[in-house]
Amino acid sequence: MKLNLKSGASLAVILAMSLGLAACAEKTDGGPTEAAAPTAAEAIAFVADAEKRAVELGDFAGKAFWVQANFVTVDTTGIAAYADQLTTAMAMEFAKDAARFNGIDVPADVRRKLELMKGGITIPAPNDKVKAKELADIKANLDSTYASGEYCREDGTCMSDREIIKTMATSRDPEELKEVWAGWRKVSVPMRGDYERMVELANEGARELGFADTGALWRGGYDMPADDFVVETERLWQQVKPLYDSLQCHVKARLGDYYGARNMPEDGKIPAHLLGNVWAQQWGNIYDLVADGDADAGYDLTQVLVEGGYDAMQVAKTGEQFFTSIGLDPLPETFWERSLITKPRDRKVQCHASAWDMSTTDVRIKMCTEVTADDFRTMHHELGHIFYYTSYKDQPISFRSGAHDGFHEAIGDAVALSTTPNYLVELGLLNEEPDASKDLGLLLDQALDKVAFMPFSLVVDKWRWGVFSGDIKPADYNKAWWDLREEYQGIVAPVERSEADFDPGAKYHIPGNTPYTRYFLAHILQFQFYKSACAEAGFEGALHRCSFYGNKQVGAKLKAMLAMGQSKPWPDALEAFTGTRQMDGTAMLEYFAPLKTWLDEQNKGRSCGW
């Protein structure tokens, strides 16, 4: 059900190719200086050489990271650390050299490539080779610590992350949930020292590039000043916050009915272990506890898939079929030959689902696929990345990325929104659509996934921005994490936490150093994309009932946007598909409007807020 195995583009290749973040960032006075007055001709030659070198190293680095993710051992971790050291050094070299050409009059495409190179690294290494190697080792160790993590009880039985996820999803015993919740967080305790040192080293590297800190570098990747981006994310959050508040109030009340007052605090917050997810980021697994009789979804997608005889490969093939039905090209045979679609029985792998852009002719996914509703939708999400890769493959290497990272996450989810009951009828999985009376159940099911996720997707990077800036001191890492989660989500840790813990590290994207605001933006954009696609398809009716499966007109317009890659500022790409240049949460509000009305009715007489 809602396990959130979502990931972005291949981090290895993004690093190797110096992509990902634009450079409209806050700068300090200590930026790179010019040794001599460079020329436009030198800038053009530099970009051409950098792109050539990025392709060559990217091929090796992609394979090194792929092997490490699929064969988690001491040796592959060492190889990955070495590849990371090389790619980070190259990206840092490109970033610093690109800064030499500030103020030089060059063609527009060259200027954009230079700006992308200046901000095109997630965790920048210092120029010192010893420190750069130390940083690479720390990053690889953090990643492997998470990948090999498990919770072992006193009786010697151990639970992997997948087993913990399932327990949190299905158990209704509050004491077992509390034990498993706390047990998983023991995995991250050893990360704390490494993480603190990594922040010091990354900030040193960021300052060498002219950024105030690593968080400022991240926020500079959106074709606007870093401070403006903070304002923009808060504006979008305030648009959708009333919907979240209504959902939180209803869920809190229904959990109180089920678990009793003794398991619920009186301050309006929800204990994190009761929300069906080990991170309390998505709540769909407790649908049965919070849905009233008039909120019946009408079918169980997991059951429908199992009864339909689906296996992991059929889930993947069905996902591909959606994209080809709207006119996108089929995936290359190498995708099916080289992807990891089911979990091997003979080795440790990173099961966190991810899409990989190894080269223009080699795209893959890594996913321990199970035949569940969640993995059915996750497959559509990951294939959204893959079809984005194949659509912009003819762009220069510097532009082979999403318009911004939120675009990359949103494409597949916009398609997943279109996996409506009507779509399931088209596939032969349902005989007929459930009638409109079942819509509330479907909307509640989705809101427990998508709406509940919104504040969490802000908190992860708000915490890291504070850590990188120094506003959050190492002595307050855990306290600040829970302060933010209480403020934005209205949830509370179920057991006492202290600075002996490192709860942020129990979430993959923290030790994996994957910026997370992309997921917040993606949840805004996916509804914008979906609404625009439905309008292009001529759909009339309640937005949540639309499916654009099989509509070639939508596909042509979508492919035109995808093919732009990162060659233009993201408002240009957004306008190409939606007709507007501003991200906007109102499409999400329209989608869930019937549910909001229902929630507000349910909440009458309840004490809402926290």
Orientation of helix 570-578 relative to helix 552-563, angle to 10°: 170
d(CA 87, CA 57): 7
- CB distance 8 to 408 below 8 Å: yes
d(CA 54, CA 303): 46
Tell me which DSSP letter residue 276 carries: S
Q: Tokens 């979502």 label which residue?
A: 6
d(CA 225, CA 229): 6
Residue of 31, 12, 223 lying closest to 123 (CA atoms): 12
Q: Which position among 250, 380, 381, 544 bears the catalytic label? A: 381
> Quick one: tokens of 180?
């498993």
DSSP of 3-68: ------S-HHHHHHTT-S------B-TT----SS---HHHHHHHHHHHHHHHHHHHHHHHHHHHHH
> Quick one: tokens of 165?
């996820």
Half-sphere exposure of 9 (CA within 13 A, CB side): 31
Q: Which position among 43, 69, 216, 353 bears the catalytic label? A: 353
Residue of 95, 47, 43, 109 lying closest to 566 (CA atoms): 109
> Quick one: tokens of 47?
């970009």
Three-state DSSP state, 219 = helix
d(CA 540, CA 255): 37
Residue of 164, 161, 166, 162 lying closest to 149 (CA atoms): 161
> Quick one: tokens of 556?
């042509």
Q: Which position among 51, 115, 382, 536 bears the catalytic label? A: 382
For residue 273, indicate whether it is catalytic.
no
Q: Which position among 273, 352, 404, 544 bears the catalytic label? A: 352
Q: Which position among 195, 299, 477, 519 bears the catalytic label? A: 519
For residue 493, indicate whether it is catalytic.
no
- Which residues are paired to 152 by β-bridges? 158
Residue of 83, 104, 76, 115 lying closest to 12 (CA atoms): 83
Q: Which position among 404, 409, 506, 530 bears the catalytic label? A: 409
> Quick one: tokens of 338?
């080289």
Angle at 225 between CA 219 and CA 229, to 5 degrees: 50
- CB distance 26 to 299 below 8 Å: no
For residue 381, indicate whether it is catalytic.
yes
Other CB atoms closer than 10 Å to residue 381's CB: what's the count? 26
Sequence-separated (6 or more) residues with CB below 8 Å from residue 39: 104
For residue 382, indicate whether it is catalytic.
yes
Orientation of helix 74-99 relative to helix 129-147, angle to 10°: 130
Which helix (H) or strand (E) is 424 found in, with range? helix 421-426
For residue 409, indicate whether it is catalytic.
yes
For residue 353, indicate whether it is catalytic.
yes
Residue 62 sits at φ, ψ, to 5 deg, of -60, -45
CA Rg value for the chain: 23
| Active-site amino acid positions | 352-353, 381-382, 385, 409, 509, 519
